[in-house]
Structure 1
């Protein structure tokens, strides 16, 4: 099972403004052939930031999610512009979404979003030493900024309006990283 399946054929089957759907035929080491469809996002990637106001409080945003038709508590995030480094994109998105920039940005992890159906992923960063700095963003309405105690992470993730899996994972990654630094 350690041998990766071979790609027999791949083709674009659909395109929209945001997504490309690719059909990929794989042949597994046991001879089984299977056709998958996967989303291929355009652009240069995506970033999500756990922005710390201080040693204890994280910046959350309340943002409308068109896919679920609800407002959710989540983390600042966004697309990486072509030619932009991940760190620069992270700092730009912070300024656009929460009105702060970070003096220190630490890479935590690259995560796949849905490995069976999406080729792209997201890069998670810890942002510290925040200072006020505002850039105009592309959100359709102002985002609500919420200062949340990281010590109350369990309470946060049990809320109905905290439902974005990648944000929850990023918060736990950051908490554990910060706890490891204290030890």
Structure 2
């Protein structure tokens, strides 16, 4: 296995309310030097939830996605607040976006989005044994909760409004987990 490149210098080259762009000068083990730009790490990470209403039904949400300027079906997700545990963040986001809390939470895997340009990722958590509980969230409008059968995933994958790669990966991993072919770590 190769050793990681040596970091020669880092600097912030742009910043907005949401993003910081960092320039990173690197020297690779073969002596080649390159400058990479990436979104600089911020915050405490994020969580994405597969909320199982039963062993064949997942709670999707329909929300506005600013990056594509359209509404899409996806899984509930959100930032982990400062000082908040993963389990607390998962249950809070579940209550804000779906209107349920969970008695059972299982961490399946950390997923990254675009590791060539950002370090951010999210923790994929399965929520089971749900009960009604609603918290006010930070969304500008109420989210629509859309129950979907896992046995009908091919129809979901074919929809034009379901396209977030992390959600596709999450549902695939949950199917393996439910079949006993993938392990997770119990949080609650």
TM-score by length of 2: 0.93
**2:66 maps to 1:49:** no
Q: Which ranges of 4 or more aligned residues in structure 1 deviate by more than 4 Å?
A: none
- Aligned equivalents of 2:6, 2:42: Cα separation in 1: 24
| Offset at residue 42 of structure 1 (A) | 2.4
> Does the aligned pair in 2 maintain the 1:18–1:42 contact within 8 Å?
no
- Aligned equivalents of 2:147, 2:158: Cα separation in 1: 17
Match runs of 1:53-132 below 5 Å: 53-132=53-132
Give 2:15's aligned residue. Answer: 15
| Offset at residue 180 of structure 1 (A) | 1.2
RMSD value, Cα: 1.3
Give the gaps of 5 or more residues in structure 2. Answer: 182-188
- Aligned equivalents of 1:158, 1:2: Cα separation in 2: 40
Give the gaps of 5 or more residues in structure 1. Answer: none
- Aligned equivalents of 1:177, 1:162: Cα separation in 2: 22
Give 1:161's aligned residue. Answer: 161
TM-score by length of 1: 0.96
- Aligned equivalents of 2:178, 2:31: Cα separation in 1: 46
Give 2:149's aligned residue. Answer: 149
